[in-house]
Chains A and B, each alone.
Chain A
Amino acid sequence: MIAVIGLVLGVLAGLVVQPVLPSLMEPYLPIAVVAALDAVFGGLRAMLDGIFNDKVFVVSFLSNVVVAALIVFLGDKLGVGSQLSTGVVVVLGIRIFSNAAAIRRHVFRA
């Protein structure tokens, strides 16, 4: 419950304060957000499976974000930034879908 409150607070803070991101970080933010979403869906599924571990969640969240940003950074340096970030988004999207399917099975038993 407190996690949901944290999410809502974050969105509100972003909308109200309107922080300006340093332009150096700008290209990594969308990928990092998608990676974090993947971690969150994974955590949700684990919670429903009853195997949720806060340590695993924290590590997977952070590593997802860092790896995603790293891949985009590397892609930019290699000149294939747009293709690589597309690839990352596709992979993370597939994972989010499969996690969402598992969550659905738990919630609706179908």
Chain B
Amino acid sequence: MWPPRFSRAQVIVAVLLFVLGLGLAIQVRSTSEGGPLRGARQEDLVRILDELDDRTARLQDEKQRLEGQRRELENSSDQAEEARRQTKQKERELGVLAGTVGAEGPGIRITIQDPSRAVDADMLLDAIQELRAAGAEAIEINDVRIVASTYLEGSRKVRIDGHPVSAPYRFSVIGEAKDLEPALNIPGGVVQTLEREQATVRVTPSEKITVDALRSAKQPDYAQSSE
């Protein structure tokens, strides 16, 4: 067999075997290198594609469900935030009424000088009632906050909620000044009654009154909310 005879038959056979070797090499390489899908038949590919579609649909459903859940949670947390905000707002408003927080706003200052020591608790109470009737929202007398449970006692030595206060009595009142002032000045009203007792009353409106005397909130012992 050696040296090779270059006959036509030999060459043709060699060419065919060359083609065979080429095909073998290509096939072996593509089988070993290609992905698992490379040699797959058409129906297998269709099946795999179907499965992938199913899986995609399932995952899409799942995604939608989870997104809905997220939306729900976001809504509820928004609502909780809103409720908290409203509660805070309510707390502040009630705090002003109960005297547990400071307050500021437009209003009037009243100074009552009492040289003859004739002013008693009834007159101060009258003044407070008149102010409340005129829409006063927060009142403070000589650094004592006037609230719903405030009481006044004593005729010559006035005490408010047990704190002794003495002339001059300085009121800080938050409210509409042009309602509060006439309410005090009506004929036979607070100012006239006090002036009859030789007390001098000075009322000054102000754009910014600060009421910062505080009371601690007291837990009721007996009264329970009936709601």
B83 within 8 A of A: no
- Cα distance, A54 to B16, chains bound together (Å): 11
Q: Please tell me which one of the listed residues A1, A7, A55, A61 contacts residue B21 in the complex, with CB atoms under 8 A apart.
A: A7
> Which A residues lie within 8 Å of B39 (CB)?
30
Interface residues on B, range: 20 to 34
Q: A1-B2, A3-B13, A54-B9 are in contact. Are A14 and B41 (CB under 8 A)?
A: no
- Chain A interface, number of residues (Cβ within 8 angstroms): 38
> Which B residues lie within 8 Å of A81 (CB)?
41-43
Bitwise interface map of B from 119 to 130 toward A, beta carbon under 8 Å scored 1, else 0: 000000000000
Contact count A vs B, C-beta below 8 Å:
109
Q: A36-B20, A81-B41 are in contact. Are A2 and B14 (CB under 8 A)?
A: yes
Overall SS of chain B's interface: helix
Interface residues of B (CB under 8 A from A): 1-2, 4-6, 8-27, 29-31, 38-39, 41-43
- Some 30 contacts from A to B, beta carbons below 8 A apart, are A1-B4, A6-B13, A6-B15, A6-B17, A7-B14, A7-B17, A10-B25, A11-B25, A12-B21, A13-B18, A14-B29, A15-B29, A26-B38, A29-B23, A30-B31, A32-B23, A33-B23, A33-B24, A36-B16, A36-B19, A36-B23, A40-B20, A54-B8, A54-B10, A57-B13, A58-B12, A58-B16, A61-B16, A81-B41, A81-B43
